Amino acid sequence: MPSGGPTPAVYLHIGAPKSGTTYLQSMLWDNAEALSEAGVLLPGDSFDAHVRATRDLRGLSREPDDPRPAWEGAWDELAADVTDHFGDHVKEPAYRVAVISNEVLCAVDDEGAERAVRSLAPYEVHIVYSARDLAGLLPSEWQEYVKHRFHYDFDHWLHEVVDGPRGGGAAQWFWRVHDIPEVLGRWARHVPPERVHVLTLPGPDAPRERLWERFAALVGVDPAVADPSTARANASLSWTETELLRAVNAAVDESVPMWLYHRLVTDVLALKILPGRGEPGRVPLPLDRRAWAADKARELTGAIRSAGYDVVGDLAELLPGQSPSEREPAGPSGFAPGQAELLDVAAHTILGLLDQVSVLTEELTELRRERSEQHETALPKLMARHLSERNQAVWKMRVGYWHLKERLKGIEPPPEPEPEADAGDDAAAGPGIVLSQRAPVR
């Protein structure tokens, strides 16, 4: 580490899921260059590097046919990258803090937590845990389960989480990552409590940027360094959209491996196509569960105070607020969408998928055309063409030569097409045509 200066710090943003983590990660990676200039290191150079490192730290096993790159040893590679950038031989830029962020780091066991902290010695390790009120968290987590192949309804899921044993069903994972005293207790054995930070998610009426402002202040960077305009959040599905996804899950063959399900159903259908296709309206927590949620929230906030952890924000934000008014449920089953609503969102979702097919078909057609042209064009001519496309001056000379040649032949050259124009009779099938007016939420 640089001699004579303060000890560099590493902030491990360990989660929790559904607590603004996607938004914060988008703010970090969309502004990686500006943050680097401000002295903030994002090791590994990609969000995927943090995902792979987390899988390694958790000791997850890959499915035999999983085509993704192996992640064994990925955590040590990430930690080594921190050491390399904090080392004496690196002078520009002078990093003073590193951030590693993945929402399921909070699921590591005590051995994984110890390994993570030890691998980052002698730097000052901080733990950052994002937390959210239970009334908003529970519906969002049920949706996340559905995005990961769960096909039971909200009532069934709540019964497993709230009433069932913690060691089984949906409760096992939920409490693994959302029992704040237990989660932070695994890390507090290796990090002093003043370096364990609970970052509270602001209420729904707060400005969107407030969470980033809190996080930036914690790591010691001016929030204005980052541009929030492109940051994305993990879009919530409406109740109707979630019910349609449940129906898809029930229809997916059991033999389909999880990596393939995630690639097609989670990443394409649930995250890109479905949001915004159905009528708006969040899934509310049923009335008969709200008293339990309030009592549990008070228990969790009391444990945070007793442990002496640093609170970034306000613990009152973890207490359930006013229930949603747009669709108040009358009982456990609430106002679940009917068949007409499901049919409507299904139709618009199919149109959204057809839009994607249209775009991919056009891209595939263009790739095939380019490949065919490469096979038919002599190598020297092909190299000259590629070179001219990369050099504006050469390109102008080439176009001028073509015009001169055509004039000498007595042929008037056709007008230059507009860059946005789609040539050919199949242009109507291009990406500019949208079959569904219910565009996905970005």
Model confidence pLDDT, tens digit, residues 400-422: 666 666 656 555 444 443 434 33
Average pLDDT, the chain: 84
- Give mean pLDDT, residues 124-140: 96
- Paired residues of 9 in beta bridges: 97, 124
Model pTM? 0.77
What was the pLDDT predicted at 397? 64
Q: How confident is the model at residue 439 (pLDDT cuts 50, 70, 90)?
A: low
Q: How far is CA 323 from CA 204, 206, 282, 320, in A?
A: 12, 16, 11, 8
Percent of the chain's residues with pLDDT above 90: 55
Confidence of residue 427 (pLDDT cuts 50, 70, 90): very low
**pLDDT at residue number 337:** 79
pLDDT value at position 412? 47
Residue 199: the pLDDT is 98
Q: Which residue matches tokens 């360990």?
A: 14
pLDDT at 91 over 80: no
Strand (E) or helix (H) holding 126 = strand 124-131
> What CATH code would you report for 9-137+145-235+287-332?
3.40.50.300
Q: Which residue type sits at 380?
A: P
* pLDDT per residue as tens digits for the range 159-184: 999 999 998 889 999 999 999 999 99
Query: pLDDT-derived band of residue 1, with 50, 70 and 90 as boundaries?
Result: very low
Q: Give the tens place of pLDDT for each residue, 321-357.
A: 754 444 444 333 456 778 888 888 888 888 888 888 8
pLDDT at 415: 44
Sorted by sequence, the CB contacts under 8 Å of residue 297 that are 6+ apart come out as 133, 134, 318, 319, 320
What secondary structure does DSSP assign to 150-213, as a single string? --S-HHHHHIIIIIS-TTSHHHHHHHHHH-HHHHHHHHHTTS-GGGEEEEEPPPTTS-TTHHHH
Where does the pLDDT of residue 82 fall: very low under 50, low under 70, confident under 90, or very high at 90 and above?
very high
Name the strands in the sheet holding 40-41, side by side, starting at the edge strand that comes first in the sequence: 40-41, 97-101, 9-15, 124-131, 196-200, 310-312
Residue 59 binned pLDDT confidence (cut-offs 50, 70, 90): very high
The single-letter code of the amino acid at 212 is: W
Q: What percent of the chain has pLDDT over 70?
A: 79
Cβ within 8 Å of residue 390, ≥6 positions away: none
Cβ-in-10-Å burial (0-12, 13-18, 19+) of 326 comes to exposed
Structure confidence at residue 27 (pLDDT): 96
3-class state of residue 251 by DSSP: helix
Give CA–CA dist 22/16, Å, rounded.
10
